[in-house]
Structure 1
Amino acid sequence: MAKKKETYESKVLKLEEILLEMENREVTLDEAICKYEEGMKLYSDLYKTLQEAEGKIKILTDKGEEDFHQED
């Protein structure tokens, strides 16, 4: 069965949970390293998603601006 793709919002919530867990309770060094690695992977995924969205918006905006200038 195919794994369901996580949404941007669900990844943000997971990252927030990791941060709160590390801030609000004592964790062993091994747990902290695991949580840090998990958090960095989520951060990387979120950053990539934002970069892709920014690229799409720029393309749409650029095309719209080109069309607008051509109408003058």
Structure 2
Amino acid sequence: MIELTKSSAARMDCLSSMIHLRRKNILNIENYLKQHGENLSPERVVQIEKDLADMRLGLHNMETDYRSIAGAPYTDKRNS
């Protein structure tokens, strides 16, 4: 069994909040692109898609950090 220190628990809480916000931002941008993509220049669409890819990579890294601290995958406990 993994025993968390106060600093580890605080870091997990911070990462949990960041993961939640990152997922929400990704969904918002994906929805924006679906709704307004045809009105944007092709260059702008490409830039938004690149930004989304970078955000997904950042999300993956945050989830990996969370897993390394918690010893278990991230699960959103806010709606539980």
Normalising by the smaller structure, the TM-score range is: 0.5 to 0.7
- Total equivalences in the alignment: 54
Is 1:47 the counterpart of 2:47 in the alignment? no
The amino acid that maps onto 1:36 is E
Query: How far did residue 58 of structure 1 move?
Result: 2.1
Give ranges in structure 1 of 5+ residues lacking alignment.
Answer: 1-5, 60-72
TM-score of the pair, normalised by structure 2: 0.58
Root-mean-square deviation (CA), in Å?
1.9
Which of 35, 44, 51 matches 1:38? 51
Which structure has the larger Rg?
1
Query: How far did residue 45 of structure 1 move?
Result: 0.7
Considering Cα pairs closer than 8 Å and 6+ residues apart, tell me whether 1 or 2 has the greater RCO: 2
The amino acid that maps onto 1:19 is E
The residue number in structure 1 matching 2:21 is 10
- Structure with greater helix share of residues: 1
Structure 2 distance, partners of 1:58, 1:10, is: 22
The residue number in structure 1 matching 2:35 is 24
TM-score of the pair, normalised by structure 1: 0.63
Query: How far did residue 46 of structure 1 move?
Result: 0.5
SS at match of 1:41: helix
